[in-house]
Structure 1
Amino acid sequence: MTILVTGAAGQLGQRVIHHLLETYKIAPADIVAATRSPDKLAELSAKGVVTRKADFDDAANLAQAFAGVDRLLIISTDSLDTPGKRLAQHMAAIDAAKAAGVKHIFYTSMPNPDKSLVTFAPDHLGTEAAIKASGLGYTILRDAWYMDNFMMSLPHNLQGGKWYTATAGGKAPYISREDCALAIAAALASSNTDSTTYTLTGSTSYSITDIASTVSAITGRPLEVVDVTDEQLAGGMTGAGLPPFVVDMLVSADANIRAGNFDQLTADFTTLTGKEPQTLRSFFEERKAALAG
């Protein structure tokens, strides 16, 4: 059984391959690590992992990259700046998988893409539909919002002592990227060939106020949650120099939390791994030094 992981040089892809090798003891020769720049995979190549170039903008290259692969993990691409580009890339990958004779597609999606307000939800919904229409076996892994995403803004928030949010008390069951990687690797390594969908979440839903309280207790620094409108949040982010597509994405994520569309708890992580997901407190305690800035 040959397993190919796209986006192998990215943060999620690297950890999926780590768990395939170290946690689930898949032989290096049975793993293919694929990325646009295979030179970034020298360390994996040295371990015996097969490395290939996979360019989602080059259909012919994808067909070559997927040759001889049984189980293919498509990690959703990072092409978010151009509307429609990511979906087109995913569609090309699905077509290439069919042409190459791949038996089972795994795909990293998001919770409830059919009713999500997040700007990139249509990419996931369209990709899921295309995978199901392909006739291939599939496993869709809907990752909840990463705890890791908070690390991009929390150190700054702590410095100013304020956290501006338009979530209005909405909650979500955040999960760490590491836990998602572990669960995805478990699915890839299993012998299960059934077509199914998993939603990977933490064990508890938290509001921004809950998170701020936890972070404040860990760091010993005050952090006030300030409720704002979507327009005010967008204005602040724009003033901070964030690109328009990033502003739209982050504001839409807050709106989605406010609407309750992320607040779905499942035990799918435990079903796949036999473990409990990392708690929010544990996640931030491990990153106390980084939070301090």
Structure 2
Amino acid sequence: MTQFKDQTLLVTGASGHFGRIAVEELLARGASKIVAGTRDPSKLADLAAKGVDVRKLDFDDSATLTSAFAGVDRVLMVSTDAIGRRLAQQTAAIAAAKTAGAKHIVYTSAPAARPNLDAGLGPEHFWTEVAIAQSGLGFTILRDHMYAENNLMDGAHVIASGQLFGLIGDRGTAYVARADAARTAAGALLSADGQSIEDVTGPAAVTNVERAALYAELSGKPVVSIALTPADLKAGMLAAGLPEGVVSMLLAFQIDAVLGYHGVVSDAVERFSGRKPQTLAEVLTANRAALNA
């Protein structure tokens, strides 16, 4: 569905991996008035050559918010990476969207976003969701589950050590490919109406045991899943030299997996992108070289 393809559609963070895929998807699906917001317009010269209106957009610069949102009907607000500051950034962007006359915001949030202080990055997403709801605009909150590609950050180390550490009681994570999530966001910008919250997931919840088996299969090396208590997992990550803030976020994620928040499976990817979501195995197989580096 592309009922809004002729409205003016803004994608924030368009020079990032996620935002660029979303813009390219909008082009592929016939959107005629695309605005790509970025802190560095020079990075999007290729998209400008395809007819995309590239505008400078810096969430920390109110002047660029005013100019970038001018004349925009619908906004895909890609959550910024400024952890600790992004609530203020995103609240300012929501206000700018409303002032400019936008009618709908699509926001990339996180699963089980809630205000609990022990919910990792959840509070920033939760309060952004609240600000969007309070704006009076139409909205589609996309609670993107863990990107499958995040496994590439430590996959090679896990394979080399032969050990995958997690928590006792892990109930699995419905890893979603970043491209699938970005195309879903573009589809929501083109078609979603009203006010809704959607979980954006892969096709199945994958447990740590299953993930270890997948690493073993792709590498040809033995990998075992080791389940620990939260206290022991935290101590191990700290002993490995990870910063305490990072440890707290990782532990919160693992606890949420035990609680079942990450095991939710939805049809949002197929519904909004028109494609079946990639499996974790497919994503890792496509990146096998990185796992065996």
> What is the CA-CA distance between 1:92 and the residue it aligns to?
0.6
Task: Return the TM-score normalized by structure 1.
Answer: 0.91
Native 8 Å contact 1:167 1:257 kept in 2: no
1:155 shift after superposition: 0.9
Identity fraction in percent: 41
Q: Kindly indicate whether the alpha-carbon contact (under 8 Å) linking 1:234 and 1:247 is maintained by their aligned counterparts in 2.
A: yes
Deviation sequence 1:171-206 (CA, Å, 0-9, x none): 12111111111111111122x432222211112111
Distance across 1 between alignment mates of 2:210 and 2:120: 25
Please give the alpha-carbon distance, in whole angstroms, between the structure 2 residues aligned to 1:169 and 1:106: 31
Q: Do the aligned partners of 1:115 and 1:261 also contact (CA within 8 Å) in 2?
A: no
The whole-number CA distance in structure 2 between the counterparts of 1:167 and 1:132 is 36
Letter in 2 for 1:165: G
Give the corresponding residue for 1:26.
Answer: 31
One-letter code of the match for 2:96?
A
Is residue 149–residue 177 contact of structure 2 (8 Å, CA) maintained in 1? yes
List alignment gaps of at least 5 residues for structure 2: 1-6
Residues 111 and 145, structure 2, Cα contact 8 Å, conserved in 1: yes
Q: Does 1:64 align with 2:98?
A: no
Secondary structure in structure 1 of the residue aligned to 2:263? coil
Indicate the SS of the match to 1:278. coil
Number of the residue aligned with 2:284:
284
Contact 1:87 1:123 in 2 (8 A): yes
| Conserved? CA contact 2:203–2:277, under 8 Å | yes
Q: Is the 8 A contact 1:167 1:208 kept in 2?
A: no
Alignment of 1:106-117 (within 5 A): 106-114=106-114, 117=118
Contact 2:149 2:284 in 1 (8 A): no
Equivalent position of 1:95 in the other structure: 95
One-letter amino acid matched to 1:208:
N
1:259-270 → structure 2 map (5 Å cutoff): 259-270=259-270
Kindly state the Cα deviation for residue 274 of structure 1 after the two structures are TM-superposed: 3.1
For the residues of structure 2 that align with 1:173 and 1:265, how far apart are their CA atoms?
A: 6
Task: Report if the CA contact (8 A) 1:110-1:121 is conserved.
Answer: yes
Cα deviation 1:115-148 (Å, max 9, x = unaligned): 8753111111111111111111111111111111
Q: 1:239, CA displacement in angstroms?
A: 4.1
Alpha-carbon distance in structure 2 between the residues aligned to 1:255 and 1:200:
20
2:23 equivalent in structure 1? 17
Q: CA deviation at 1:237?
A: 3.2
Give the Cα separation in 2 of the matches to 1:50 and 1:219: 44
SS of match in other structure, 1:221:
coil
- 1:51 aligned partner: 54
| Residue matched to 1:144 | 145
Aligned partner letter, 2:127: G
Gaps of 5+ in 1: none
User: Which range moves more in the overlay, 149-158 or 228-237?
Assistant: 228-237
Structure 1 residue identity aligned to 2:30: K
Q: TM-score when scaled to structure 2?
A: 0.91
Q: Give the structure 2 partner of residue 246 of structure 1.
A: 246
Amino acid at match of 2:38: T
Runs of 4+ with deviation above 6 angstroms: none
How many residues are matched?
A: 286
Whether the aligned pair in 1 keeps the contact of 2:110 and 2:145 (CA below 8 Å) is yes
Change (3 A) 1:202 1:93: same
Q: Map Cα deviations across residues 209-267 of structure 1 (whole Å, 9 max, x no partner).
A: 11111221122121111223334333443344433322221111111111222221212
Assess if the C-alpha contact under 8 Å between 2:165 and 2:226 holds in 1. yes
Q: Does 2:44 match 1:41?
A: yes
Amino acid at match of 2:247: V
Are the aligned partners of 1:167 and 1:254 in contact in 2 as well (CA < 8 Å)?
A: no
1:33: Cα distance to partner? 1.0
Which of 224-233 and 121-130 deviates more? 224-233
1:6 CA displacement: 0.6
Match of 2:159?
Answer: 158
Task: Give the aligned partner of residue 274 of structure 1.
Answer: 274
Query: Does the 8 A contact of 1:167 with 1:255 survive in 2?
Result: no
The residue correspondences of 1:87-236 to structure 2 (distance < 5 A) are 87-114=87-114, 117-166=118-167, 168-190=169-191, 192-236=192-236
User: CA 1:140–1:164 in structure 2 vs 1: closer, same or farther (change >3 Å)?
Assistant: same
Counterpart residue type for residue 243 of structure 1: P
SS in 2 for 1:213: helix
* Correspondence for 1:78: 81
Deviation at 1:280, TM superposition (A): 1.8
Q: 1:7 aligns with which of 8, 13, 23?
A: 13
